Amino acid sequence: MAAEADVVVIGGGPGGFAAALRAARMGASTILVEKYDMPGGVHTSGLQGAAGRGAGGIHTELMQRFADEGCIYTATEATLPGWAGNPLSHYEAHLEPGSAFARSSFNPEAAGRVMLRMLEEAGVRALYRTAFVDAVVRNGPRDDSVSEVIVENASGTQAIRGKVFIDGSGTAEVAARSGAPFVRGGGPQPPGVAWDGRNRPIPGAMLWIMSAIDFARVAAYQRRENDPALSKLIAAARAAGDIPPDLYRPRLSGTPAYGNAYIGHPTVDMSPIQAPGTFIFWQNVPYEWALHMDDDAEDEARAKKSMREFIDAEAGFLKKYVPGFENAFISNVGRYVGIRDGRHPIGEHVFSIEDARSGRRFPDAVTRPMTKTFFWDAHRPYTFEVPYRCFLPGKLDNLLLTGASLSFTYETIFMVMRNFPWCTQTGEIAGYAAGLSLQRGIAPKQLEWTAPYF
Per CB under 6 A, residues contacting ligand FAD are 10-16, 33-36, 41-43, 45, 48, 50, 131-132, 168-170, 173, 204-205, 338-340, 402-405, 418-420, 423
Nearer to ligand FAD, 221 or 289 (CB): 289
Nearer to ligand FAD, 34 or 143 (CB): 34
Nearer to ligand FAD, 339 or 447 (CB): 339
CA distance 91 to 83: 10
Shortest approach of ligand FAD to residue 38 CB, angstroms? 8
Shortest approach of ligand FAD to residue 262 CB, angstroms? 9
CA distance 389 to 387: 5
Shortest approach of ligand FAD to residue 451 CB, angstroms? 24
Residue closest to 124 by CA, chosen among 6, 27, 58, 32: 32
Nearer to ligand FAD, 207 or 396 (CB): 207
Nearer to ligand FAD, 39 or 444 (CB): 39
Shortest approach of ligand FAD to residue 389 CB, angstroms? 18
What spatial distance separates the first Cα and last Cα of the chain, rounded to whole Å? 37
CA distance 349 to 106: 34
CA distance 328 to 316: 10
Which helix H or strand E contains 271, and what residues bound it? strand 270-272
Shortest approach of ligand FAD to residue 325 CB, angstroms? 23
Helices and strands (H and E) in the chain: how many: 10, 18
Residue 13 sits at the vertex; the CA angle it makes with 116 and 70, to the nearest 5 degrees, is 50
Shortest approach of ligand FAD to residue 321 CB, angstroms? 26
Ramachandran angles phi, psi of 209, nearest 5°:
-125, 140
Nearer to ligand FAD, 339 or 365 (CB): 339
3-state secondary structure (DSSP) of residue 137: strand
Positive or negative, the Cα torsion across 90, 93, 98, 102?
Answer: negative
Nearer to ligand FAD, 12 or 324 (CB): 12
Residues present in the chain in total? 454
Positive or negative, the Cα torsion across 263, 46, 2, 152?
Answer: positive
Shortest approach of ligand FAD to residue 426 CB, angstroms? 8
Which helix H or strand E contains 292, and what residues bound it? none
Amino acid 60 reads T
Shortest approach of ligand FAD to residue 240 CB, angstroms? 30
